[in-house]
Structure formats: structure tokens, C-alpha cells
Amino acid sequence: MGCSEDPKRMDYSKLSSQEIERLARTIHPGAWAIEPDRPLATLLGSCVAVCLFDPHARVGGLNHFMLPNIRRSSNDDVDTLLSGSYAMEALLNALLQRGAKKVRLQAKAFGGGTIINTSGPMMSIGSRNADFTKEWLQREGIPLLASDFLGPWSRKVLFVPTTGDAFCRRMVTNMATAEVIAREEKSYADTLVQKPKTTEKKIELF
């Protein structure tokens, strides 16, 4: 999932956000990562990215997720929990395995924008993603130190796991960029029709 530990970590505080972006590993919709010696980056539309960080252990990670479309079935609540909680628990438990402590974790979260004109269930998906994120963090007792949700923007997020620094750039989205984001998010949303499949180690809940 990540790289081997390097005692000679780069001092990213001396770099500009543009330089950090050039060094970053890109995280796509539906994915998460922990990197001990490399920044993480993601491009958001209606999805949300959550950065979790333990300042004592100096370990952090980022995920990129959305809730499934609202479907008229008896399993709506279950589907929401499976997708949203899965994304958060996967990142949380991976951090705990890397030496983080839940009582020390801090969060920064971004996204939930509306970048294309739409109607129906997709119109509210960004708001649902943002609300779920805030509710989940509050329930788990993890403070949300910074956030930027909703609005008519796409967002580029950069996260430095070793320091907890996060950068969020709002972008007035042109049609070409909106189509790319929408295509990636739709492809990811289609996978949420079924219960998420575990591709990492089995998740143990704490």
C-alpha cells in the first residue's frame, strides 16, 4: 500500500503547493492510501476526501469516496453505511495498524461540490457525502480541524501525511474537466450498487 520508511524524509514545509503537487501520488475515486514519505493528491467533484492524521506518530492517510445514489429499496440505509463507513473504517484501521492512536487522530475533509447541472438523486449526493462525513467524525470523536464542502466547484486536494498539512484549491470547472470528473465518479458510483469488496487485509473494527 505504501513505501518503506525512509529516515531522511523531505521537508515539505519548504516547498510550494505546486512543487508538492508534482511529487504527489494521485488517489482516484473509491481508493485510499497511507504514504510514509510522499504527498497524496486527489481531484474532487461530488465525492469527499478525508485526511486523517496522528500528529504524535506522524502518520496519515487520505480516502476518496461517495455514498451510493438514493434507491427506493429496503436496503438504502444499509447501502449507505456499507459504502461510507467502509471507506472511513478502511483508512482508520490501516492507520491504527501503522501505529496511530484513535484518541490522537485529527481530520480535514473536502468536497461535496456540484460541478454539473443535474436533477434527482445526484443533485443532493454532494450534500449527503458532506453530512455523512461530519456525522461519522463526530460519532467517532475525531475532531474536524478544517473543511471545505459544497458549492459549484471541483477541488484539488493535496495532503502531506507526515505533517498533516492539507491544501485545497477550488476550481471553476470548465466543461472538459467536469466531464472527466463526472465520468470517473459515475464509474465509481456504478461499483456501489453491490457491497464493497475488500481488496486490502480484512478490516477489524475497534
Residues 6+ apart with CB under 8 A from 95: 34, 52, 54, 59, 60, 61, 105
Catalytic residue numbers, as ranges: 47
The phi, psi pair for 86, rounded to 5°, reads -60, -45
3-class SS at 120? Answer: helix
What pairs with residue 107 in β-bridges?
52, 144
Q: Do 148 and 155 form a contact (C-beta atoms < 8 A)?
A: yes
Closest CA to 86 of 168, 31, 19, 150: 31
